A and B are shown apart, each in its own frame.
Chain A
Amino acid sequence: MTKDGLLPPLRHVFLSLILFRVFLPLLATGIGAVAGMSYLGLKFLQNQQQQVVQSLSRIVDHHLDHGGRILDAVARMAEASGEKNLQVFMKSTWEAYGYFDTLYQLDENDNIVLIMPPEPNYAGLDMSNLPDFKNVSNKNYSISRPFISVRTGAPTVYLVRKLAKGGSVVGELNLGVFQKEIDRISSGLGKDFVFIMDQSGTLLAHPDAAQVKQQTNLSNLGIFHSMLTGISEDFYAYGQEKVLGSATRVEKTGWLIVNQLPLSVFMVSYAWIFALIFSASLAIWITLAWNLRKRIQRHFIAPLEQLSRSANSLAMGDFSQVNTLTTIPSSFAELRKLASDFQAMSSILHARETDQQSAHDELEIRVEKRTEELFVINNNLQATTARLQQSNQELHSEIAERRRAQALLAQKVVEIELAHTELKNAQSQMLQQEKMASIGQLAAGVAHEINNPIGFINSNLGTLRNYVTELLDVVDAYAGCHSCPPQDMPALLGRIQVMKQNIDFTFLREDIRKLIDESMDGATRIKRIVQDLRDFSRIGSSEWIWTDLHAGLDSTLNVLGSEIKDKAVVVCEYGTLPQVECIPAQINQVFMNLLLNATQAITGQGRITIRSGSDADEAWISITDNGKGIPAEAIARIFDPFFTTRPVGAGIGLGLSVAHGIVKNHGGKIEVMSQEGQGSTFIIRLPIRHLHTT
Chain B
Amino acid sequence: MPPKTPQLRKTPSFRQALAFLLTSLAGLSLSACSGKKPVLVGFVAQMTGTQAELGVQERNGVQLAVEKINTEGGIAGRKIELVIRDDFGIPEKAQAADEELIKAGVVAIIGHATSGQTMAGLKITNPAKMVMISPTVSSPALSGLDDHFFRVYPTFKDSAQAFAEYVYKTGGLKRLAVIHDTDNAAYAKTYSTTFSEKYVALGGVISGEGSFSSKARPDFSPLLTRLRGGKAEGLLVIASDIDTALIAQKTRIMDWKIPLFTSAWAQTETLISNGGKAVEGLKLEQSYALSSSTPAFVEFRNSYQSRFGNAPSFGAAFGYEAAMVLAKALKKTGGSSAKLKEALQETRNFQGLMDNFSLDQYGDVQRPFYLSGIENGKFVILGKLN
Asked if chains A and B come from one complex, the reply is yes
CB distance B13 to A12 under 8 Å?
yes
Instruction: Let me know if B242 is at the binding interface, CB within 8 A.
Output: yes
CA distance A366 to B221 in the complex (A): 145
Is the CB of B127 closer than 8 A to any CB of chain A?
Answer: no
Known contacts A128-B276, A129-B272, A201-B308; is-contact A19 B17 (Cβ 8 Å) = yes
Tell me if A153 and B11 are in contact (CB < 8 A): no
How near does chain A come to B222, taking the closest CB pair, in angstroms?
A: 11
Interface centre among A8, A213, A214, A264, by most chain B C-beta atoms within 10 angstroms, is A214
State whether A8 touches B14 (Cβ < 8 A): yes
B277 interface neighbour in A120, A126, A220, Cβ under 8 Å: A126
Residue in B9, B56, B276 whose CB lies within 8 Å of A110: B276
CB pair B309 A199 closer than 8 Å:
yes
Contact B309 A201 (CB under 8 A): yes
Contact B276 A120 (CB under 8 A): no
Q: Does chain A have a CB within 8 A of B147? A: no
Q: Is the CB of B307 within 8 A of A129?
A: no
Chain B contacts of A485 at CB under 8 A? none
Asked if A44 is at the interface of the complex by the 8 Å CB criterion, the answer is: no
B219 interface neighbour in A13, A120, A127, A130, Cβ under 8 Å = A120
A578 to B274, CA, bound (A): 166
Contact A121 B220 (CB under 8 A): yes
Stretch at the interface among B42-50, B93-101, B173-181, B325-333: B42-50
Q: Which residues of B contact A12 (CB under 8 A)?
A: 13-15
B341 on the A face (CB < 8 A): no
Contact B50 A125 (CB under 8 A): no
Q: Determine the distance from Cα of A111 to Cα of B250 in the docked complex, in whole angstroms.
A: 12
- 1/0 per residue, CB under 8 A from B, across A549-560: the answer is 000000000000
- Contact with B56, one of A15, A215, A274 (Cβ below 8 angstroms): A215
Bits for A166-207, please: 1 = Cβ < 8 Å to B, else 0.
000000000000000000000000000000001111100000
The residue of chain A having its C-beta at the shortest distance from the C-beta of B221 within the complex is: A121
Please indicate the chain A residues that have their CB under 8 angstroms from the CB of B274 in the complex: 129-130
Residue B30 CB within 8 A of the other chain: no
A148 within 8 Å of B (CB atoms): yes
* B60 interface residue (CB < 8 Å to A): yes
A425 sits at the interface (CB 8 A): no
A123-B253, A199-B309 known; A153-B49 Cβ under 8 A = yes
- Chain A residues in 8 Å Cβ range of B253: 123-125
What A residues does B47 contact at CB under 8 A?
213-215
CB distance from A365 to the nearest CB of B (A): 47
Contact status B50-A150, CB under 8 Å: yes
Q: In this assembly, does B67 line the interface, its C-beta being within 8 Å of a C-beta of chain A?
A: yes
Question: In the complex, are the beta carbons of B278 and A126 less than 8 A apart?
Answer: yes
Q: Are B308 and A20 in contact (CB under 8 A)?
A: no
A7 touches B242 (CB 8 A): no
CB closest chain-B residue, reference A214: B47
- The contact of A13 among B8, B86, B220, by CB within 8 Å, is B8
B59 touches A214 (CB 8 A): yes
**With A and B bound together, what is the CA distance between A20 and B250 in angstroms?**
85
- Decide yes or no: A213 and B48 within 8 Å by CB, A110-B276, A130-B274, A219-B309 being known contacts: yes
Asked if A129 and B275 sit within 8 Å, CB to CB, the answer is yes
Closest A residue to B67 by beta carbon equals A220
Chain B 263-301, CB within 8 Å of chain A: the 1/0 string?
000000000111111110000000000000000000000
User: What residue of chain A has the Cβ atom nearest to residue B276's Cβ?
Assistant: A126
In the assembled complex, B249 has its CB within 8 A of some CB on chain A: yes
With contacts A126-B276, A148-B48, A214-B84 taken as known, whether A16 is within 8 angstroms of B307 at the C-beta atoms is: no
Fill in one digit per residue for A321-363: 1 if any B CB lies within 8 Å of its CB, else 0: 0000000000000100000000000000000000000000000
The yes or no answer to B302 lying at the interface (CB within 8 A) is no
Residues of A near B226 (CB, < 8 A) are: none
Question: Total number of A-B contacts with CB less than 8 angstroms?
Answer: 110
In the assembled complex, the Cα of A8 lies from the Cα of B9 at a distance in Å of 8
Which chain A residues border B38 with CB–CB below 8 Å?
Answer: 240
A200 contacts B310, C-beta separation under 8 Å: yes
Known: A153-B49, A200-B310, A214-B59. A125 touches B276 (CB 8 A): yes
Enumerate B170-225 residues with CB–CB distance to A below 8 Å: 217, 219-221
User: What interface size band does chain A fall in?
Assistant: 35 or more
User: Which B residues touch A202, using CB under 8 A?
Assistant: 308-309
Given A214-B86, A215-B47, A220-B307, A129 and B14 contact (CB-CB distance below 8 Å): no
- Asked if residues B273 and A131 are in contact (CB atoms below 8 Å), the reply is yes
Q: Give A6-39 as 1s and 0s: 1 = Cβ < 8 Å from B's Cβ atoms.
A: 0110001101110110000000000000000000
Residues of A within 8 A of B11 (CB): 13, 16-17, 20
Measured in the bound complex, the distance between the Cα atoms of B299 and A288 in whole Å is: 68
Tell me, yes or no, whether B102 is within 8 Å of chain A by CB. Answer: no
Cβ of A210 within 8 Å of any chain B Cβ, yes or no, is: yes
B11, closest chain A residue (CB): A16
CB of B56 within 8 A of CB of A8, answer no
Taken residue by residue from 233 to 256, chain B's Cβ proximity to chain A (1 for < 8 Å, 0 otherwise) reads as 000000000100010011011000
Closest to B12 in A: A16
Residues on the B chain within 8 Å of A199, using CB: 309
- Asked whether B249 lies within 8 Å of A125 as measured between CB atoms, the reply is yes
Q: From residue A56, how far is it (CB to closest CB) to chain B in Å?
A: 21
B12 — which chain A residues lie within 8 A by C-beta? 16, 20
CB interface residues, A 253-287, toward B, < 8 Å: 264, 274
Residues on A with beta carbons closer than 8 Å to the beta carbon of B219? 120-121
Indicate which residue in A17, A111, A153, A217 contacts B60 across the interface (CB closer than 8 Å): A217
Q: Is A126 in contact with B272, judged by CB distance below 8 angstroms?
A: no
B276 touches A200 (CB 8 A): no
Please state if B59 and A129 are interface contacts (CB–CB under 8 Å): no
- Min Cβ gap B207→A in Å is 24
Beta-carbon contact of A130 and B308 below 8 Å: no
A200 touches B308 (CB 8 A): yes
Chain A min CB distance to B369 (Å)? 25
Which residues of the other chain, B, contact A111 by a CB distance below 8 angstroms?
A: 276
In the assembly, what is the distance between CA of A220 and CA of B66, in Å? 12
Bound-state CA distance A145–B308 (Å) is 12
Distance (Å) between the CB of A243 and the closest chain B CB? 14
Output the least CB separation between A118 and chain B (Å): 13
Q: How distant is B193 from chain A, measured CB to nearest CB, in Å?
A: 28
What is the CA–CA distance of A240 and B217 in the complex, to the nearest angstrom? 40
How far, in whole Å, are A220 and B70 apart by their CA atoms in the complex?
Answer: 13
Residues of chain A within 8 A (CB-CB) of B21 are 19
In the complex, chain A residues whose CB is within 8 Å of the CB of B217: 121
| Shortest Cβ distance from A215 into B: residue | B56
Q: Given contacts A17-B8, A214-B47, list 16 more A-B pairs with CB under 8 A.
A: A15-B14, A19-B17, A19-B21, A20-B11, A20-B12, A121-B219, A129-B273, A148-B52, A150-B242, A201-B307, A201-B308, A202-B309, A214-B56, A214-B59, A215-B52, A220-B307
- Which residues of B approach A to under 8 Å, CB–CB? 1, 8-9, 11-15, 17, 21, 28, 32, 38, 47-50, 52, 56, 59-60, 63, 67, 81, 84, 86, 217, 219-221, 242, 246, 249-250, 252-253, 272-279, 307-310, 377
7 cross-chain CB contacts under 8 A: A13-B8, A16-B17, A20-B17, A121-B220, A202-B308, A213-B86, A219-B308
Nearest first, the 9 closest Cβ-Cβ pairs linking A and B are: A200-B309, A126-B276, A12-B14, A214-B47, A124-B253, A213-B48, A129-B273, A215-B56, A19-B17
